[in-house]
Amino acid sequence: NEMGDVVQLEHRVSKLEGVLHLEKMITTSGDKVFATNGEKADFDTAVKKCKEAGGAIASPRNPKENDAILYFVKKFNTYAYLGIKASLIPSKFQFLDGTPLTYTNWHSNEPSGKGEE
């Protein structure tokens, strides 16, 4: 029966999510799930891998989502690519889809493009 299949699938997804939480490979913020495979890659490869997995590269839209990304930065002691790019307007940034940023959390005197943003 269709309802039973849905319940079984939800149970399997829930179990998988639990395992990934234990392995510290996913974290959540609101209804968003942030995940990593822990591998290093360049920006274009990261965007491609996220899309292949059915998601998108992380684009923090509030402090809690930023903290979810920071979780992986601290765990793997590395940087994280974000789904933002420079705008045509100098010193402005936008999401990859072209919409303006509604949340930023830059360090002082950033962004500089030197990796300390």
Q: What is the CATH number of the domain that holds 58?
A: 3.10.100.10
The tally of domains found in the chain comes to 1
Q: What distance, in Å, lies between the first and last C-alpha atoms of the chain?
A: 52
| pLDDT score, position 53 | 83
Amino acid at 41: A
Q: What's the pLDDT at 78? A: 87
Q: What local confidence, expressed as pLDDT, does residue 63 receive?
A: 96
Q: Are 56 and 32 in contact (CB under 8 A)?
A: no
**What pLDDT shows up at residue 20?**
58
Give me the domain span that covers residue 89: 2-95
59 assigned to some structural domain: yes
Average pLDDT, consecutive stretches of 10 residues, N- to C-terminus, the chain (117 residues): 71 61 72 86 92 90 94 89 87 89 86 70
- The answer to whether 30 and 65 have CB atoms below 8 angstroms apart is yes
Say if CB 52 and CB 72 are below 8 A apart. Answer: no
- CA 85/CA 97 separation, integer angstroms: 9
